[in-house]
């Protein structure tokens, strides 16, 4: 697929939600197919829409009173349903100033889907819910960047960490997963003091496949942190620095260290990268 997502919408909703949402998603480094970016004067609207749908991994459908009244957004929706048949689910409904009964009257298929509720939420929170489904790897990178309050090389805008927790909870963590999360939480609490409910909830919001990948990533960070801390008498400031070094390395944002860096930094990086072959991308 050439694009991460396509946005299906009514033109009346552009200023209020669609254009700002598309820009926010792009600021999170997602590739968005959106008519103001992808259509030129003289282009066939239907041909461009079909191309966008066929080349996009997901379709974000902005459901609003204007959407329900417009023939073109309904056409886009029907195309999305056709493309989704027999394949992994690709439609992400966003409810914008509508209630469940209105969605049900328009499409029982859409009403049964877990939706992003846009009304009353900050734009970043809406974009993060979408990002978590469309590109969980990039979402995780942003979450780890926020954990250390660092700016990634992609210049992703920082947002409130609480906005990362807007996605719905999925299936409960298994007993083994709960044990692993507890070890991560206890190992890193002094440098990453979030509550048990927050850290467990963050993992529960991931799909099972991506949840396992994230558990391994955080286990690498926690294991290296605990080992280096145990072998060296690090001050509280150095412990925070170690955590940030490991987070930056996990993001690929740490290209090297200066000659003046303490020996434990190089030791931590060597230890961390020795663990990485055990994790699959």
**Per-residue pLDDT tens digits for 57-89:** 888 989 999 988 887 777 777 777 776 665 566
- The per-residue pLDDT for 222 is 94
The closest of 226, 227, 219 to 279, measured between CA atoms, is: 219
Q: Residues 107-119: pLDDT tens digits?
A: 887 777 778 889 8
Q: Tens digits of per-residue pLDDT, 129-165?
A: 898 888 888 887 777 766 655 433 444 445 555 555 5
DSSP class per residue in 177-240: HHHHHHHHHHHHTTTS---HHHHHHHHHTS-HHHHHHHHHHHHHHHHHHHHHHHHS---HHHHH
Provide the terminal-to-terminal Cα distance of the chain, rounded to the nearest Å: 19
Q: Which residues are catalytic?
A: 76
Digit-coded pLDDT (tens) for 242-261:
998 888 888 765 555 666 78
pLDDT at 166 over 80: no
Q: What pTM was estimated for this model as a whole?
A: 0.65
Give per-residue pLDDT as tens, 12-52.
999 999 999 999 999 888 999 888 777 666 767 677 777 78
């Amino acid at each position: 697929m050439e694009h991460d997502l396509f946005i299906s919408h009514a033109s009346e909703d552009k200023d209020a939600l669609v254009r700002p949402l598309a820009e926010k998603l792009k600021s999170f480094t997602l590739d968005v197919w959106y008519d103001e970016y992808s259509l030129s004067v003289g282009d066939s609207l239907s041909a461009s829409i079909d191309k966008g749908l066929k080349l996009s991994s997901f379709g974000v459908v902005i459901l609003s009173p204007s959407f329900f009244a417009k023939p073109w957004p309904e056409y886009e929706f029907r195309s999305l349903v056709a493309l989704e048949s027999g394949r992994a689910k690709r439609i992400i409904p966003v409810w914008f100033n509508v209630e469940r009964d209105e969605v049900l009257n328009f499409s029982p298929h859409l009403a049964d889907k877990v939706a992003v509720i846009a009304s009353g939420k900050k734009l970043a929170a809406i974009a993060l819910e979408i990002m978590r489904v469309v590109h969980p790897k990039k979402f995780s990178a942003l979450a780890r960047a926020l954990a250390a309050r660092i700016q990634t090389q992609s210049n992703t805008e920082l947002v409130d960490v609480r906005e990362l927790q807007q996605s719905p909870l999925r299936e409960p963590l298994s007993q083994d997963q709960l044990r692993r999360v507890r070890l991560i939480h206890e190992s890193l609490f002094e440098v990453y003091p979030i509550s048990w409910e927050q850290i467990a909830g963050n993992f529960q919001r991931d799909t099972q496949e991506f949840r396992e990948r994230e558990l391994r990533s955080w286990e690498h960070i926690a294991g290296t942190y605990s080992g280096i801390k145990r072998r060296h008498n690090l001050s509280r400031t150095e412990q925070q620095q170690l955590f940030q070094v490991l987070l930056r390395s996990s993001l690929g944002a740490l290209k090297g260290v200066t000659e003046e860096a303490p020996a434990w930094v190089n030791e931590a990086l060597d230890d961390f990268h020795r663990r990485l072959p055990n994790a699959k991308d």
